[in-house]
Structure 1
């Protein structure tokens, strides 16, 4: 069979959410099923490292699709034409965007519907596109994959989709995330924070990630605890909305490090050397940094909304993400209670075994195989 895959987020210079999801799942699909041919559709020149095996044919389709008008062009014309040209039996889209005009069976991954619940977080043009097309994608798909039970129920309620049409496959995290030895932790902290422990946040600086309130909460924590800093790992998304980052004093600035986008190798080290993950989005479809923290065996302070309790289980202290006093109190509590810190570290490691990209890829393949066989 010939399986077409939307691989437009495999970008060697900037791998983030959709890109890493595509990489981890698609690489396994290709390697585990050499009996099938996979056609990768890129929207710009690709890195050869993403051609994972001999059963992959890479194809670049014009135009580069990073604007709503170009989304329509790429999926409704370029993809439609390519699916016919390459005689594709099924089209799989890890970011959920589908070709409405193509008769080819399609499987889309809808990660979350944040734009339906918090339209204020997204610029007007992308918002109009998402709200117009994603209900159509959900109905068009032969089957939908999603990343949490929370997202599944949200899709059912928001778009009137039957539960039988949606399969949940939790995300995994890279197997390179592992607990670090004490000397490694000390070395990384010496290099990055002058030897000081730190809370870490990982994710795009997007309003729903709630980084502004996290910084406000850390400011309150810093008045009580002079010993632990805060590290923010991630780049701004929707830059015109990044004003949610508050102004802080010069003294507090010295205790907050913005690392920007970092490589996976660097992130492994930064996460593993952290005192704890502080992750309080007010809307999330899954939250891969939770699993990365678990694999490193570090405690978690998590928001208590949407899917986050489903993912973190007993490995986290939960807080109202809109209440900065509650967040700061959780930081103070964790910093002052060594027993609780050790307990959550152990629970993180124990829960981490529930999440695997192998499982995600296997579940994805089962959905694809069922459709191909029918």
Structure 2
């Protein structure tokens, strides 16, 4: 037997009838439906049709040949929802059912079209596209000759797809369900509704087109259903497709390579771009190391808190995790609430709760000390993920790889605090003294390292930042409504600004540009939403400008839970910074199907490419013009939304993690080649351990 696999509504019934009518080849089905039984003798048939995923088949013998019949997923979903409505007498809400099918939560809808195609493309011996099958059935069937006996052919009996609507054939006419002649005619009308290539364009709303492209863009490009945008970022054309191969390894390695990665940024309870970079890179590297074997041993340094294996990051207690559950964050929220309380009782109650929280925090801290009780290890390489963290490692003497996110202390020091400028300057200076190899997060940053610091091009690799899988168009109406209520978003369209409130993000000129837009069209129902935590400078002037602008509102920091929903709801993201080393919010918004307005400087043109509107960050009129395009040019915005989703999903953490491991390999190998006496190794000492009982007693006395 051979498997004939397909996602529902992909033409498998048509192919089965072609095989039966022309070649006399019968087929059966294997399924998990409850309304009709499986033929107990299905394994005796030469062809067995299934919609299941490869891992759900019985028998589970991967040696059984398989044919995968694939159709444009957008046509599949539209056809599937129409079919469900026909079966249930139009009781299914069309828009809701489409969203449900795109989301394919918890493995529903046969895992979703993207997963289904991805897994079967890896397994199948032959892949046939529905569009080719309808155009030339016999040519497609000939590709099955290595697996089926096609020697006897009755070409005069070849059915067309339209014949399935008007005649009873062996498969799909409803006879297997015991239908009458009249019932079969009605059944055929719904089951073989159109079969038109590209029919999804008539029924699939634009926002769901973007959502589907964001989830399944790789498979659509791979199968030729959409064309990939022009290559601007130097990635392989299929970098966002699932990799079949293993990470390249040296066949002559003497032992596992041991790398210490700076993870001190993970101790910051605030989630910013660099925190995301460290967290997502470590998660992706851990996944790849586990998949590809034991070539690497990667540990993460938490600074003064010690070292933990990369696989143990999930065990770090909440005290040291980012997000709202961190006790420090909870303490800050409670302290803010205390400002509204009155009376001695409430003041004392607030002190008590705060101290109890501190006691809990200390216990968690001691738990981290125990967690970090590994024996000191010898390392072949230190990866400094942020130059500012250099003081934790200044006593080490081993090969160094330093990630440089930007050179703001040189190119725009007026936009930074003095402490930030000094910290970054000292970190870069120390790294250079260690003869470090550099990783730049963009080609723009690489060029700045060459031009501003005189670093040789051979000492710099580019490993782009990327997006986590959570950033994609939100199709869950409930979550969209919840986000809108939580942040009191306007009912009408709005532009979104996102970023820490600091001068470099250029919020002042962005608001000025928006005000020009409103002045030009006072009747326009549009708002500007400013999201982001407080940083430094600009705050008083910004708040004054917002107070004067009735349609501008500041909503503060937005957590990861709601960020994709805000991106999805926004008409466009306005991210017209004066300078960026990468610009992570840009690809986050693009991944959520949102068009972007960006500053035409530094790394941003490189990252966005032709998927957004550029603007001069110093010119509010230029920003207004870009906003005008976003609000009034629907055709341009819709086109850019599709381009944006395709482009953003080329920036994957798996791809970046593999490139980073290649950098590790290169630096370690180069250092070994340069050292006659062997590689440098270093031991990272642990901080002195606190006395838990004494510390707890001291806190008890304070309470």
TM tier, smaller: 0.7 to 0.9
Aligned equivalent of 2:416: 122
Where in structure 1 are there 5+ consecutive unaligned residues? 59-81
Matching of residues 335-350 of structure 1 within 5 Å: 335-350=631-646
Task: Measure, in 1, the Cα distance between the counterparts of 2:667 and 2:314.
Answer: 20
Task: Indicate how the Cα distance of structure 1 residues 244 and 321 shifts in structure 2: closer, same or farther if over 3 A, else same.
Answer: farther
Structure 1 vs Structure 2 CA RMSD: 2.9
Task: Measure, in 1, the Cα distance between the counterparts of 2:466 and 2:428.
Answer: 24
Aligned equivalent of 1:90: 381
Contact 1:320 1:326 in 2 (8 A): yes
10-19 or 144-153, larger mean C-alpha shift: 10-19
- 1:18 equivalent among 264, 269, 274: 274
Task: Indicate how the Cα distance of structure 1 residues 332 and 86 shifts in structure 2: closer, same or farther if over 3 A, else same.
Answer: same
Aligned equivalent of 1:72: none
Shift of 1:316: 0.8
Task: Measure, in 2, the Cα distance between the counterparts of 1:57 and 1:162.
Answer: 40
177-186 or 364-373, larger mean C-alpha shift: 177-186
Task: Measure, in 1, the Cα distance between the counterparts of 2:309 and 2:494.
Answer: 38
Q: 1:172 and 2:466 equivalent?
A: yes
Shift of 1:109: 0.3
Report SS of the residue matched to 2:562: helix
Q: 1:260 and 2:520 equivalent?
A: no
Contact 1:189 1:273 in 2 (8 A): no
Shift of 1:85: 4.5
Task: Measure, in 2, the Cα distance between the counterparts of 1:188 and 1:344.
Answer: 27
Task: Measure, in 2, the Cα distance between the counterparts of 1:320 and 1:119.
Answer: 19
Matching of residues 33-48 of structure 1 within 5 Å: 33-34=289-290, 35=294, 36-43=296-303
For residues 134-155 of structure 1, give each alpha carbon's deviation from its aligned partner in whole angstroms, at most 9, with x where no partner exists. 1332452531111111100100
Task: Indicate how the Cα distance of structure 1 residues 249 and 106 shifts in structure 2: closer, same or farther if over 3 A, else same.
Answer: closer
Shift of 1:221: 1.8
Contact 1:188 1:273 in 2 (8 A): no
Report SS of the residue matched to 2:561: helix
Q: 1:160 and 2:160 equivalent?
A: no
Task: Measure, in 2, the Cα distance between the counterparts of 1:203 and 1:6.
Answer: 24
Where in structure 2 are there 5+ consecutive unaligned residues? 1-256, 317-372, 673-703
Shift of 1:37: 3.0
Size of the alignment, in residue pairs? 347
Task: Measure, in 1, the Cα distance between the counterparts of 2:440 and 2:480.
Answer: 39
Q: 1:30 and 2:286 equivalent?
A: yes
Task: Measure, in 1, the Cα distance between the counterparts of 2:651 and 2:427.
Answer: 31
Aligned equivalent of 1:322: 618
TM, length-normalised to structure 2 = 0.46
Matching of residues 111-150 of structure 1 within 5 Å: 111-150=405-444
Matching of residues 148-297 of structure 1 within 5 Å: 148-181=442-475, 183=477, 187=481, 190-191=484-485, 192-223=488-519, 224=521, 226-237=524-535, 239-240=536-537, 242-243=539-540, 245=542, 247-248=544-545, 250=547, 252-253=549-550, 255-297=551-593
Task: Measure, in 1, the Cα distance between the counterparts of 2:501 and 2:612.
Answer: 22
For residues 65-97 of structure 1, give each alpha carbon's deviation from its aligned partner in whole angstroms, at most 9, with x where no partner exists. xxxxxxxxxxxxxxxxx9x94322211121134
Contact 1:51 1:57 in 2 (8 A): no
Task: Indicate how the Cα distance of structure 1 residues 142 and 52 shifts in structure 2: closer, same or farther if over 3 A, else same.
Answer: closer
Q: Which has more radius of gyration?
A: 2
Task: Measure, in 2, the Cα distance between the counterparts of 1:213 and 1:124.
Answer: 23
Report SS of the residue matched to 2:626: helix
Shift of 1:182: 8.8
Task: Measure, in 1, the Cα distance between the counterparts of 2:518 and 2:410.
Answer: 35
TM, length-normalised to structure 1 = 0.84
Greater relative contact order, per chain length (Cα 8 Å cut-off, separation 6+): 1
Contact 2:473 2:565 in 1 (8 A): no
Contact 1:38 1:56 in 2 (8 A): no
Shift of 1:329: 2.0
For residues 243-302 of structure 1, give each alpha carbon's deviation from its aligned partner in whole angstroms, at most 9, with x where no partner exists. 45262364624x223222222121111111111011100110110111111111111111
Contact 1:277 1:301 in 2 (8 A): yes
Report SS of the residue matched to 2:492: coil
Aligned equivalent of 1:2: 258
Task: Indicate how the Cα distance of structure 1 residues 216 and 246 shifts in structure 2: closer, same or farther if over 3 A, else same.
Answer: farther
176-185 or 322-331, larger mean C-alpha shift: 176-185
Shift of 1:186: 6.5
Contact 1:5 1:92 in 2 (8 A): yes
Shift of 1:55: 9.5
Contact 1:180 1:296 in 2 (8 A): yes
- 1:308 equivalent among 587, 590, 604: 604
